[in-house]
């Protein structure tokens, strides 16, 4: 399997699991649950990523959009890190 396919599979797996973990929550509370999921699975710096996404996307965006962007960014970072560990 190519490295990009592996990253994509890991990314999609984490998106599904984060959605499931945050099910029933909305807005900022959903973002906190997403943060908790990625902290649990070993995101290397969840505080930093949370703050970066909040600062860059919070202004003018809805809480819903913030949670979506947070999930995407964290899933990408974890997926890449997992693929690097498997080398």
Would you tell me the crossing angle of helices 27-40 and 3-21 to the nearest 10 degrees?
Answer: 130
Residue where the block lists tokens 């949670």: 67
State how far the alpha carbon of 15 is from the alpha carbons of 37, 56, 61, in Å: 10, 21, 20
Average pLDDT over residues 82-87: 80
State how far the alpha carbon of 28 is from the alpha carbons of 20, 40, 51, 79, in Å: 16, 18, 13, 24
* Residue 86 pLDDT grade (very low, low, confident, very high; cuts 50, 70, 90): confident
pTM above 0.75, yes or no: yes
pLDDT digits (tens, 9 = 90+) for 23-50: 999 999 999 999 999 999 988 899 999 9
Rounded Cα distance between 36 and 84, Å, is 23
């Amino acid at each position: 399997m190519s490295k990009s396919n592996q990253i994509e599979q890991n990314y999609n797996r984490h998106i599904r699991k984060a959605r499931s973990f945050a099910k029933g929550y909305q807005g900022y509370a959903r973002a906190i649950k997403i943060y908790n999921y990625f902290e649990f699975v070993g995101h290397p710096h969840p505080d930093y990523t949370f703050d970066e996404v909040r600062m860059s996307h919070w202004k003018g965006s809805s809480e819903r959009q913030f949670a979506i962007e947070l999930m995407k960014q964290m899933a990408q970072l974890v997926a890449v890190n997992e693929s690097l560990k498997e080398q």
